[in-house]
Amino acid sequence: SVHGIQKYEKPVIKTDSVFDALLRAGKKPCIVSTGNDSMSKIFLERNMDYFIVDTPDEANEKAIELIKEDKYDLIAVYNGNYDGTMHKFGPEHENSITALKHNVNAFKILAEAVKENWKNHNTLIGFAPDHGCHKIDGQSGGHGLMMPEDMNIIHFYGVI
């Protein structure tokens, strides 16, 4: 009810976001994402840069390139491979856990790139899933319900 997404759709949300707050403060955010996922759709129409690629690995490579360029105040990188795998196989299926481990490793590599290239910055890094998930229909996974599995999500932050 706050952001307006009430069913499976990807409208441009008009709710004030971290991207809007950064833009008002004169900062330069960007989004790096794969195409046709929520991150590549719902935060459009803002005066910021978007880098939409085909695969999570390409998103991570682009993010490393942007980290090395050091011209953004926020680089939001979205890897949707766990989400897609979780929907297909379930949250704890071997394929889903493999995708999640891939994302954790990608985060480690991105954090190392920040540490190496942003030595003159105090940088907050975060691993922040956008939602939880639960098993449905005996196998596949879903999210979006008012239940702990969907709403109680763990984020990890660090300062470099």
Over the stretch 22-77, which tens digit does the pLDDT of each residue have?
999 999 999 999 998 888 898 999 999 999 999 999 999 999 999 999 999 999 99
- DSSP string spanning 34-57? ETTSGGGTTT-SSSSEEEEESSHH
At residue 1, the pLDDT reads 57
Q: How far apart are CA 131 and CA 143, in angstroms?
A: 7
Percentage of the chain beyond pLDDT 90 is: 57
At residue 118, the pLDDT reads 95
At residue 134, the pLDDT reads 62
- Is the model's pLDDT at 3 over the cut of 70? no
**Mean pLDDT calculated for residue range 92-102:** 91
Q: Which residues pair with 31 in a beta bridge?
A: 50, 76
At residue 155, the pLDDT reads 83
